[in-house]
Structure 1
Amino acid sequence: MATHRLTEMPADVLKMIESVAGPVHDVEMVSAGYNSEIAARVHLDNGTLFVKGLRQDHPRVWTQQREADINPFTSGLAPELRWQIRKGGWDLLGFEDLGGRHADYSPGSSDVELVLQSMWCLVSAPLPTTVGLKSMSQRMSAHVTDPADVQFFEGGTLLHTDWKPDNVLIADGHARLVDWAWASRGAAWIDPALWAIWLIASGHSAEDANSLAGQHPAWDITPVKHIDAFARAQKRLWESIARVDRPDEWTHKLHVAAQTWAQYRRGET
């Protein structure tokens, strides 16, 4: 479920930010995204920062610490974390402000190639073994059609896993990845597989989306049955999400996209 987003910066939060960053001259609240109560671009004497935060009693406050823990391992791929504040009932993260814009996944967009380049770089990122990331085998275990299929998703690669266009910023000719709350470990081909579903939801045919995902270096060295099993699991996952939640537009699109990709992987049109 989406977290309610505040439209104004609370006075106590503003004071905490100023205690570590100096005087705040202006605040631009940001509406995009689902996981934070606070998301804002904060203007300071020496530039801007992007601040996101949750109350410490929020059920997903763990995502704040996950992002803080992951950040040292994503240099060059994600905005740099400058500070974390945990007091006064709040958990706040201050990131470098990249500016830029959200990625466009639509057919013909030049952003698609930039996203692929970042995905290739992510394969080389060190796996943060001290962070306690869930494996994709664990995350998919409830959605496979055959329990033995989860072994196909195992691996030692750091995965982002949440390829919503809002989580990819195009800045200075590069695609940079934000919102690492659902980072996981697993097989390197899983990120492009997840991205394929977003591509279909953004207007690509299943064939084109599969072909773009297939440009990832891990794709051709992966047995076809592994990717097929993942497509089936994603179909079941999005079916369960669509049943439990009142589907918004993107949930509906992803549900349909996951079905479409699974059908394509089975050889259906």
Structure 2
Amino acid sequence: MARLELTQLPAEVVAFVEDLLGGALVEFENQAGGFSQGTAARVRTANGARGFLKAVHREGFEGTYRLYEREVEILSLLPRMARVPQLLGSYAQSGWLALLIEDVAGRYPDTRADMHAVLDSLLTLPSVDAVPGLPDVAEDLAPALTQWDRIDAGYSAMDDWAVSHLPLLRAASERAVEAASGNDLVHNDLRPDNILIDAQGAAWIVDWPWAARGALWYDALLFVLDCSLIDPTIDVEHEIASHPVFRGVTDQQIDAVLAGFASYYVYQADQPAIKVPQSLREHQYQHARVILEWLERRWSRR
């Protein structure tokens, strides 16, 4: 997906960065990954100061603008935590919105050890009571996870098993929002491209516009799911059974969340790629298939 380059940013946004970092901008490197539009760049000034810049204009990019706007609000609420990059400042003028965040030198997780580092880091997040004003996870999930009534055998991600199990999938998904609800701070978009692993192997969680009050294990479940797409040899059931972030979670709760997200991904994968990149539709199709295959394995054993 094309990012906004430095030459497309107004002088006022560049000045905002230079004022915050205390020097002339000498390095600007857009990052890959993610599905939102706009600038997402590591920047450096002549004095060696660094930051991570997100910037977008509202016109033509309303969705991304709203995401960045919400991320400013969320980052302003989060207390200083060891491995969550801090908001350095934001700029909103003439339709432009920019936020400068602490830069973290790191790479995306790509090993099982990295996955465990991320799951461990979830257990260090502060109490949601320390982050007043967060929405409940149900506000985002309720409309998304109840799509089975709109789906039939014609959807591309549906196979014979899914078609024959539609009533069971629908019934399980009706419990998804309740299962994902809770009193933990959840990132609510915990994908590998929203994680950076630093030189010491510690996991930093970035991109917080969807943060909410919910159940911590729900974040962890979807992250393990994404990791299994990168490394199909990961035993997802073993991870659920062995890591303390999943302690006390029932099979029925896991089934409910998986069935709910399956409905979302099956439905979204077949929507026109008009205002989103085609790669997002492909991502949604892959997730639909992986979740349905996971549910088939889980239910066939019972």
- The alignment's TM-score, normalised by the length of structure 1, stands at 0.85
Name the residue aligned to 2:38.
37
- Give the counterpart of 1:194 among 200, 203, 222: 222
Residue type at the aligned position of 1:8? L
CA drift at 1:263: 1.7
**Matched-pair contact (CA < 8 Å) for 1:73–1:125:** no
Within 5 A, what are the aligned runs for 1:111-122? Answer: 111-122=114-125
Quick check: 124-133 or 249-258, which moved more?
Answer: 124-133
Is 1:266 matched with 2:271?
A: no
**C-alpha separation between the residues in 1 aligned to 2:215 and 2:269?**
26
More helix by share: 2
CA contact 1:53–1:93 (8 Å) conserved in 2:
yes
Check conservation: 1:141, 1:150, Cα contact below 8 A: yes
Equivalent position of 1:243 in the other structure: 270
Q: Which amino acid aligns with 2:121?
A: S
Aligned to 2:154: none
| Counterpart secondary structure, 1:91 | strand
| Residue 25 of structure 2: aligned partner | 24
SS at 1:39's partner residue? strand
Deviations along 1:80-102, one digit per CA (max 9) or x if unpaired, are 11101111321111111111111
Which runs of structure 1 show a deviation greater than 6 angstroms over 4 or more consecutive aligned residues? none
Q: CA 1:123/1:236 → structure 2, altered by over 3 Å: closer, same or farther? A: farther
Given candidates 80, 83, 86, the residue that maps to 1:80 is 86
Ranges in structure 1 where 5+ consecutive residues have no aligned partner: none
Tell me: CA distance 1:126–1:267, structure 2 relative to 1, closer, same or farther (3 Å): farther
Task: Decide whether aligned partners of structure 1 residues 239 and 54 sit closer, same or farther in structure 2, where only a CA change above 3 A counts.
Answer: same
Matched, 1:231 2:232: no
- Flag the structure with larger Rg: 2
Q: Which has the higher contact order (CA 8 A, sep 6+)?
A: 2
Task: Say which SS state the counterpart of residue 228 (structure 2) adopts.
Answer: helix
> Aligned pairs, how many?
263
TM-score by length of 2: 0.77
Q: Cα RMSD between the aligned structures? A: 2.6
Q: Deviations for 1:6-31, whole angstroms, at most 9, x for unmatched residues? A: 13342422133223333212222223
- Secondary structure of the residue aligned to 2:216 is coil
Letter in 1 for 2:118: V
- Kindly indicate whether residue 288 of structure 2 is the aligned counterpart of residue 255 of structure 1: yes
Paired position in structure 2 for 1:166: 193
Deviation at 1:211, TM superposition (A): 2.0
1:64 matched to 2:68? The reply is yes
Q: Secondary structure, in 3 states, of the residue corresponding to 2:6?
A: coil
Cα offset for 1:255? 2.2
